[in-house]
Amino acid sequence: MSKVSGRIKFLIIILLVYLIVGLIKPTLSLNALRYFVGMLPKVLPILTLVFIILFFTNMLLSPSKINKHLGKNSGVKGWLYAIAGGIFISGPPYILYPMLGELKKHGARNGLLATMLYNRNVKIYFLPAIIYYFNLRYAVILSIYIILFSILNGILLEFIVSENE
Amino acid sequence: MQIFKITADMSDSVKQKMKQAFFKTTQVFKTVMPMLTGVLLLVSLLHQFFKNNYQHWFSGNLILDPFIGAIAGSISFGMPVTSYVVGGELLHAGVSLLAVTAFIMSWTTVGLIMIPLEASALGIRFAIIRNILNFIFALIVAISTVSTLKFLF
């Protein structure tokens, strides 16, 4: 009998949860499925874009290049790239994880990847929304703290999680 | 003749590189797709429980509410801009700025539902430690932001 991977098992468990919820409260399960189907037109174009980016990353970026900019010896520049990368990359986390996973395989440091993920919160194009609901002072102070704590987050994560984990 | 040979060799190596890159990318997608489908299905199901319910989660307690905010943000999902909208509404409803900031911070930096996907791409220890650290930092950033605002203005 072939061994089922953890990922497939996870999907089967979620489908079983749907089935159980569907038996107890069919409308809830149906509404959730409708919501899922409604998400697909938004997710599929992004996934296509991610496929293209990953394809070019795999084709053009060599482990030595990644190592130089985001690897062990990237130094202060590496942190700056991670902060800028986090601020400028956009997209939901489920799209970013595979891309960051590829960078890790190519030699990117754990701490820099964590810093990049933390800085997703600082978005120039979200500023009008945050200023509208809060105010400019709040937006500026929060953004400064996010950038500062993103570095601390990266350092601590690297301290706790070794590079080959 | 020599130029044609060099060009042909180069195009062969580019073709080879493209083939390898395509294969690698397809492999990544094969690995990610079942997990991604599962996570999106889970997100869709949990959305049915959470939508329009955030307001009822807060107690009005100044010490307890930031924790509730951070927990609510950790199990939520969506674009960061959604957290500002929900946060703004919570603020209007009388929830403290400290709790709302903790909620906004953990919304984008902690993702309990996404842990299986994050772990499959970046490693289980990476995913768990990052989420724990970010939960703690959500509270610290919230306290720091609100204190700084009070101190300066």
**What tokens does A24 get?**
């107890």
CB contact under 8 A, B45 and A10: no
Residue B40 to residue A36, Cβ atoms within 8 A: yes
Return the amino acid letter for A83. I
Q: How far is A147 from chain B (nearest CA, A)?
A: 10
Highest mean pLDDT: which range of A5-9, A89-93, B145-149: B145-149
More confident: A92 or B67: B67
Q: What is the mean pLDDT of residues A144-162?
A: 94
* Beta carbons of A100 and B20 less than 8 Å apart: no
Q: Does B79 touch chain A (CB under 8 A)?
A: yes
| Distances in whole angstroms, Cα of residue A38 to Cα of each of A41, A43, B44, B92 | 7, 9, 10, 30
| For residue A1, pLDDT beyond 80 | no
Q: Write down the pTM of the prediction.
A: 0.79
Identify all chain B residues contacting A141, using CB atoms and an 8 Å cutoff. Answer: 145, 148-149, 152
Q: Show residues of chain A in contact with B40, CB under 8 Å.
A: 36, 39, 43, 94
Indicate if the pLDDT at residue B104 is higher than 90. Answer: yes
Task: Tell me which chain A residue has its CA closest to the CA of residue B24.
Answer: A58
- For every residue of chain A, DSSP letters joined together read -PPPPHHHHHHHHHHHHHHHHHHH-HHHHHHHHHHHHHHHHHHHHHHHHHHHHHHHHHHH--HHHHHHHHSTT-HHHHHHHHHHHHHH--S-HHHHHHHHHHHHHTT--HHHHHHHHHGGG--GGGHHHHHHHS-HHHHHHHHHHHHHHHHHHHHHHHHHS-TT-
What is the pLDDT, as a whole number, of residue B45? 87
Does A33 sit within 8 Å of B133, measured CB to CB?
no
What b/e readout covers A104-118, taking b as 16+ CB neighbours within 10 angstroms?
bebbbbbbbbbbbbb
Ranges A6-10, A68-72, A91-95, B103-107: which has the least confidence: A91-95
Q: Which chain A residues are within 8 Å of B145, Cβ to Cβ?
A: 138, 141-142, 145
* A16 touches B: beta carbon within 8 Å: no
A29 close contact with B: CB closer than 8 A: yes
Interchain proximity B133–A138, CB inside 8 Å? no
Model pLDDT for residues A16-65, shown as the tens digit of each residue: 999 999 999 999 999 999 999 998 887 788 788 878 888 887 787 776 77
Hey, of B15, B26, B28, B97, which one would you mutate to test binding to chain A, going by the most A CBs within 10 A of its CB?
B28
Give the model's pLDDT for residue B39: 82
- Give contacts of B116 with chain A, Cβ < 8 Å: 10
User: pLDDT band for position B62 (50/70/90)?
Assistant: confident
Give me the pLDDT at residue A52, please: 87
pLDDT band at residue B2, thresholds of 50, 70 and 90? low
Average pLDDT estimate for A69-74: 82
User: How many Å lie between the alpha carbon of B29 and the closest alpha carbon of chain A?
Assistant: 8
What are the pLDDT digits (tens) for A72-123? Answer: 888 899 999 999 988 887 677 777 888 888 889 888 999 999 999 999 888 7
pLDDT for position A93: 79
pLDDT range class, residue B101, cuts 50, 70, 90: very high
Residue of A3 and A16 predicted with greater confidence = A16
